[in-house]
Amino acid sequence: MGNASSMLTQYDIEEVQEHCDNLFSQQEIVSLYHRFCQLDRSAKGFISADEFLSVPEFALNPLSQRLLKMVDGLNFKDFVAFLSAFSTKAIIFKVYDSDCNGEVSFKDILEVLRDLIGSFMSDKQREILCNSSLKMEVEVPVD
């Protein structure tokens, strides 16, 4: 599994599943491995920041520069562990998906913010804060 061009064995799949608390099925691990190999263009066994930026959704994300610090140089096992945080099965995802519909909506974020801030802000102030944050993310130019 050290070389991206090598094949994934059953042992590798099970090891990655265990490393990620079984948040992904074997089929999902294999699919992620194929995607990992596509991103690892030089087949060195890890993905560089430049390779991550080749994914348009990642490059356009307002948090991409912060995320790059976390993902630069990830091997396959750590790549899957990183992605597991975004899985609908992950505990942290469930914290934000307050209505349990499999999506983190604007309403969910407002509810989390209400729980964090309490009565220090009104519902209207929280909504203005979230709306202005979203607007700032859209207006920030991508270098």
As a whole number of Å, the end-to-end CA separation of the chain is 34
Q: What is the pTM of this model?
A: 0.62
What are the pLDDT digits (tens) for 13-71? 999 999 888 889 999 999 999 999 999 988 999 999 889 888 888 887 767 777 788 88
Structural domain for 74, as ranges:
10-87
Indicate if 103 and 70 belong to the same structural domain.
no
Q: Quick: pLDDT tens for 94-121.
A: 677 778 788 888 888 888 777 877 778 8
The total number of structural domains in the chain stands at 2
Calpha distance 109→39 (Å, rounded): 31
Residue 125 within a domain: yes
Asked if residue 5 is part of any domain, the answer here is no
Task: Assign residue 75 the CATH number of its domain.
Answer: 1.10.238.10
Distance (Å, whole) CA 18 – CA 106: 33
User: Are residue 83 and residue 96 in the same domain, yes or no?
Assistant: no
Do 82 and 104 reside in the same domain of the chain?
A: no
Residues 60 and 108 in one domain: no
